[in-house]
Amino acid sequence: MSIRQPPTRIDGPVAVIGDVHGQLSELRQIIHQLEHTPEIHRRWIVFIGDLVDRGPDSRGVLDLYCDLSKHHDRVTWICGNHELAMAASLGLIQTPDYVDWKNNWLQLYSAEPTFESYSVQFRDVAALRSALPEEHTALLSNLPWIVEHPQYLFVHAGLDPDLPFDMQIQILRKRDYSLAQPPWLFSRTFIQGPVPRECPVTVVQGHVPLQEVHFGNRIIGTDTTGGVSGDLSCVLLPENIVLTSADNAPLDEIP
C-alpha cells in the first residue's frame, strides 16, 4: 500500500508533535494519549520535523508515521534540517555540488543511530539508501517545508522577522534546494521572535530545544528534547494544552 504525501493545507483542531529524533518509545506514549483524545478523528496530527537522527530508532519512528498515515486521515510531516541533510546525502533530492551534505550529515548530525536502526554500517550511504523501504524513500524525497492553516503556520525553525511574510511563504512553498542552509529549517534565532509584522497567524515551530513548550507572541516552540534529554511534547491547538511523553492519564476530559 503506497503512502500518501504529507498534506500542506489543513484546518480544524491540531496536535503538533515536537522534534522526535528517533525517540520511538516517547512517540508511542504521545500517540497513545492522542488515541484517547475526544474526537481525535477530527484533529490533524502535525510532525514539526526532525524525526530522524540522535535517538535510537529513526526507522521505527518513520514506520510509525507510515502506519499512522494509513489509519488516520489527518496526518502530515514538515521537513526539518535533519531530514533535509539525510535526503540530500542519500541523493533523494537535487542539491548543488557546492554543499557537501554527505560529510556534513555524517560528521555533524549524530546520524550513526539512524544507520543502526536500518541495520546498516555507519557511513555506508549507498547501503542505507538501498535499505530504505519504498515508503520512507517517497516521503523523504518530497517533504513540504511548510504546512498552512487558517490560524497557524507550521515551519520547522520559524520565520525571519526581517523579511516580508508573503515572500517567505512563496519560497517555502517552492522549496529552494539551492540554498546551503535554508534559514526556515536551520536558524536558531527565529524562536526569539518577533514574527514578521504583517504575519496574520501564529507560527508553530520546533528545532530549538526548550525546557518546556514556549507560548510567545504569535510564536509556539515545541521542541523539548532535541533528541537528547527531556520529555517529548505535543501541543493541542487551539486549546494550547500540552501533552508530554511522561504523562500517563488518558485525555477524556479535554473539551
CA-wise closest residue to 220 among 155, 161, 164: 155
pLDDT in tens, 186-196: 999 999 999 99
**255 — pLDDT class (breaks 50, 70, 90):** very low
Question: What is the domain extent for residue 140?
Answer: 14-244
Residue 250 belongs to some domain of the structure: no
Residue 228 vs residues 5, 22, 42, 58, 223: alpha-carbon distances, Å = 29, 10, 32, 14, 11
Q: Give the model's pLDDT for residue 3.
A: 73
The CATH number of the domain holding residue 217 is 3.60.21.10
| Residue 1 forms part of a structural domain | no
Is residue 187 situated within a structural domain?
Answer: yes
Residue 121 included in any domain: yes
In this predicted structure, which of 3-7, 12-16, 105-109, 135-139 has the lowest mean pLDDT?
Answer: 3-7
User: What pLDDT, in 10s, does the model give residues 73-94?
Assistant: 999 999 999 999 999 999 999 9
Quote the number of domains for the chain: 1
Q: Tens digits of per-residue pLDDT, 197-226? A: 999 999 999 999 999 999 999 999 999 999
Q: Which of 4-13, 83-92, 147-156, 246-255 has the lowest mean pLDDT?
A: 246-255
- 4 falls in which pLDDT band (50, 70, 90)? confident
- Band the pLDDT of 231: cuts 50, 70, 90: very high
Per-residue confidence (pLDDT) for residue 247, from 0 to 100 = 85
Distances (CA, A) of 74 to 45, 67, 80: 6, 12, 20
Residue 8 lies in a domain: no
Report how far apart the first and last C-alpha atoms of the chain are (Å, whole number).
Answer: 35
Output the pLDDT for position 253: 46
- Whether 252 is covered by a domain: the verdict is no
For residue 194, the model assigns a pLDDT of: 96
Within a domain: residue 180?
yes
